[in-house]
Amino acid sequence: MTHNVLVVDDEPKLCDLLASALSQSGIQVFTAGNGLHALKVLEAEDIDLVISDWRMPGMDGPQLLAEIKSRYPHLPVIVMTAYSTVKNAVQSMRNGAFDYIAKPFDIDELDITVSKALQFRDILKDNQRMRAELDEHQQIDSLIGDSPSFRRVLHAIDSVRESNATILLTGESGTGKEMVARAIHKHGNRADKPFIAVNCAAIPEGLLESEMFGHRKGAFTGAVADRVGRFMQADKGTLFLDEIGEMPLALQAKILRALQERVIEPVGDPRERKVDVRVIAATNKNLLEAVANKEFREDLYYRLNVFPIPLPALRERVEDIAPLARHFAHTLGATAGKRITGFSAEALQAMANYSWPGNIRELQNCVERATIVASAAVIEEDDLPAYLFASRSADSGVLVAEGSVPADLEAALAQVEKSYILAALAQSNGVQAAAAQLIGISERSFWYRLKKLGIHVDKIVR
């Protein structure tokens, strides 16, 4: 790989000497007689390393270093200085220089220092390239689908991504609200700033204010040190408030003030802190109903609902099931060390017939299980989890009941009951308490039905 190095010195002979020495290593050398000229070269050429003198007329070495760190923060700079001013070189390293060499310098020492700096530059470039490829890959992954309902989501993302408007993502659990929030952030004007996600339902109510706004040491029992809250962590970036509908009313007023006035007040600290945060909120609740029931502040609702984006359930975008399933099979198969090339027509039809109450999250779990049990490169209908077909059997049983009398009523009812329990377990990832809540029965009743129907539950049902 050919590297480009810029040598900056007001002594032309020294520039020529360095150019001659470095070119023997296959390096393309550019020269500049002062700092202003160096900045023009940097604008015109793809430079991998700058070697700059400390003392120069006009813009000197420290000023040039500051400009380079401001404009090109990942570009390494080596400072040249006389032995008598080594302390200045040490200061320059504190200000961001990669290294320094003292005049008069040894050519071998120069080669070693330059080689290290260029290796450092190559590593940074590789990391930036891989990070860009990964970000692009992740965004493509999170936005798979070409159904009319999902195209409307993509259009909304494209419309709002460059603005700073507050966004409210709504939709059932598992529809990909956090993926959409991350896509908006990555494709927006704050992409190089933090993305901080907070699940408002997962944090105990007593700790939520401290989590959001931070606290001072000694503000309450257990506050043994200052804590920076999520708003400050997301400063200049994006704050994603997931399950905003679960936020306690007392805290909603403080969130409203933070959105309106762009200031926060850490617990135990009367001083206000300004924040510049783009907020994306998400909920699977009907917030208007929550407002009517006095469970959610009306003023906060309208402050959040500046740009609403409703996300469709998977059953409303059936044509996207196949491409999503293929994507999951490809990525999850690779993780499991298996090469999955696709699905049989029967398997795809079975997935299209299922209602997917857990949406994309449930589809991913289903495909992950299928990739584990599949014995061939193509996932067959038999590789899919049984609950997909239990749901279908229950539906057909209801139809029979409407048209005729079932031969065994108890068996038909048991099949319907089993299908709902299996679907709830799949949606809750095998968490029995959550599955019981989904179908509206007590945990004790749920456990009784598992035993009665002979359903064995591992930690996670795929």
Instruction: Check which CATH number belongs to the domain holding 101 and give it.
Output: 3.40.50.2300
Handedness of CA 33, 36, 39, 40 (dihedral sign): negative
Give the integer Cα–Cα distance in Å for 218 and 267.
Answer: 10
Same domain, yes or no, for 228 and 347?
no
Judgement on whether residues 306 and 322 belong to the same structural domain of the protein? no
CB-CB contact of 52 with 8 (8 Å)? yes
- Report how far residue 300's alpha carbon sits from residue 244's, in angstroms, rounded to the nearest whole number: 10
434 in a structural domain = yes
Nearest to 52 by CA among 2, 117, 124: 117
137 found inside a domain = no
Residue 104, preceding peptide bond in cis (omega within 30° of 0): yes
Final residue belonging to a domain, choices 259, 277, 312: 312
Q: Could you tell me how many residues make up the chain? A: 462
Q: Among the three residues 312, 343, 360, which one is the final residue of a domain in this structure?
A: 312
**Consecutive H or E run containing 310:** strand 307-310
Last residue of a domain, one of 312, 336, 353: 312
* Total domains in the fold of the chain: 3
Whether residue 118 is found in the same domain as residue 65: yes
Whole-prediction pTM? 0.58
Residues 305 and 211 in one domain: yes
pLDDT at 136: 46
| Residue 133 forms part of a structural domain | no
**323 shares a domain with 308:** no
- Structural domain harbouring 336: 316-453
**pLDDT averaged per 10 residues in sequence order, the chain, 462 residues:** 88 90 89 91 91 87 88 89 65 80 83 90 72 48 80 92 94 91 91 92 83 83 76 94 92 92 87 92 94 95 96 94 92 81 92 90 90 91 85 45 52 73 77 78 78 68 38
Q: Do 350 and 381 belong to one domain?
A: yes
In this prediction, residue 54 carries a pLDDT of: 85
pLDDT value, residue 394: 46
User: Is 162 found in the same domain as 44?
Assistant: no
Which pLDDT value is given to residue 59?
Answer: 87
Domain membership of residue 213 (yes or no) is yes
Type of residue numbered 322: A
